[in-house]
Amino acid sequence: MLMIYIIGFVVSLGLAFGLTPLVKRFAIKMGVVDVPNARKVHTRVMPRMGGLGIYLSFVIGLFAILPFIPDEYLTSHNMDFIWAFLVGGTMIVVMGALDDKFDLSAKLKLLIQIAAACVVVFGFDIKIEFVNFPFSSYASVETWMSVPFTILWIVGVTNAINLIDGLDGLAAGVSAIAIGTITVMAFIMGNEVTAVLCLLLLGSILGFLYFNFHPAKIFMGDSGSLFLGFSLAMLSLLGFKQVAIVSFLTPLILIGVPLSDTMFAIVRRWMQKKPIFSADKGHLHHCLRELGFSHRQTVLIIYGIAAFFGVLAIIQSSAALYNANWVTFVVICIMVFFLQIGAEVIGLIDKTKRPVLSFLGRLRAKPSTERGSK
């Protein structure tokens, strides 16, 4: 399988490197461009729909490598999963491409995403059947719960990457780190099919990232961000399905950057008495730019945060294999502490209210005061 892994990665990487310029020309010819406005960082008209390059590289690479995968790995369930991935992913990419061109309504996009999730669940019988919650053994999920839970998971994670697609190379790089993390976890758990799919997708993302990193020559658009979100949802779902001892916490850590950014945005808007779904410039990348970091520095910092979450996810999933619940507790504590500290330093919630930093400041000041009084 080692050569299949290597060839699959190299083939998809090469395809993305070759197809992305063609997609760029197609986007310009079709008038699928992103025009600057007050909320956007770029200052010139940019072609989008770059997600087509990622999708085509992944699909072509998959069909090229599939005949060489040994039959013992291509079980009926794995093949059902692959076809569910392809059919649902195609629906998402087509919708995203149309949205890049015509700006579809949010309701229509949500309906199509739900339809794609329903195809996965009802068309191919792919759903969450058991979950290992932190501090407990894994438990089966009743059908009446597993169906809506799976649909909610797919739709929710599909939109996660779209929320951070605000700087050149940001969404692609964070997705690559998350996919790379799942690849490592797949190798640890001996899940060969997941590893193949991850490496194909990773190669496609990195090939595209060459043209998307600052200064970008093309944007991925919704066709890319939604497809990558859908891919993350599906690949983590395959882990749920095949490996009973994958903690429910692990896939949440994988999408820690967009998930935490969304949570802080909700809290921020609630505190400011603004509509929860209103747009603002208080997201992580906006705040880092306001602190004086350059475009590239901001992206690299968020890459580092995503890698930190990736390491925590690997530690958590490895600990779950041995029911080491104390590790889960430590991971949760570390994650919550650094999330809160980071949010206060950057100003994700409020520029002035920093309760934990203020408390730590008082603790540091107290010994100094006591020494001075003596």
Least confident of 64-78, 291-305, 306-320: 306-320
**Which residues have C-beta within 8 Å of that of residue 205, sequence separation ≥ 6?**
16, 54, 172, 175, 176, 179, 228
* Whole-angstrom distance, CA of residue 234 vs CA of residue 56: 18
Q: Which residue type sits at 253?
A: I
Dihedral sign for Cα atoms in the order 294, 334, 137, 73: positive
Q: Where residue 94 falls among pLDDT bands split at 50, 70, 90?
A: very high
User: How many structural domains compose the chain?
Assistant: 1
For residue 95, what are the domain limits? 2-373
Instruction: Check whether 348 has a pLDDT greater than 80.
Output: no
> Model confidence over 37-89: pLDDT tens digits?
655 555 678 999 999 999 999 999 999 999 999 999 999 989 999 999 999 99
Q: Which CA distances in Å does 113 have to 93, 110, 343?
A: 10, 5, 31
User: What CA–CA distance (Å, rounded) separates 290 from 192?
Assistant: 44
Q: What tokens does 229 get?
A: 């979100």
β-pair partners for 162: none
User: According to the model, what pLDDT value does residue 273 have?
Assistant: 78
Checking if the pLDDT of 29 tops 90, the result is yes
Which amino acid, residue 344?
A: E
Kindly report, residue by residue over 217-239, the tens digit of the pLDDT. 999 999 999 999 999 999 987 75
- Higher-confidence residue: 104 or 341? 104
Higher pLDDT, 147 or 114: 114
Would you state the pLDDT for residue 4? 95
Q: What is the pLDDT of residues 242-266, one digit of tens each?
A: 433 345 566 677 778 887 887 777 7
The predicted structure's pLDDT at residue 243: 38
Beta bridge partners of 247: 132
Q: 35: exposed, middle or buried (C-beta count within 10 Å: 0-12, 13-18, 19+)?
A: exposed
Look up residue 71 and give its amino acid. D
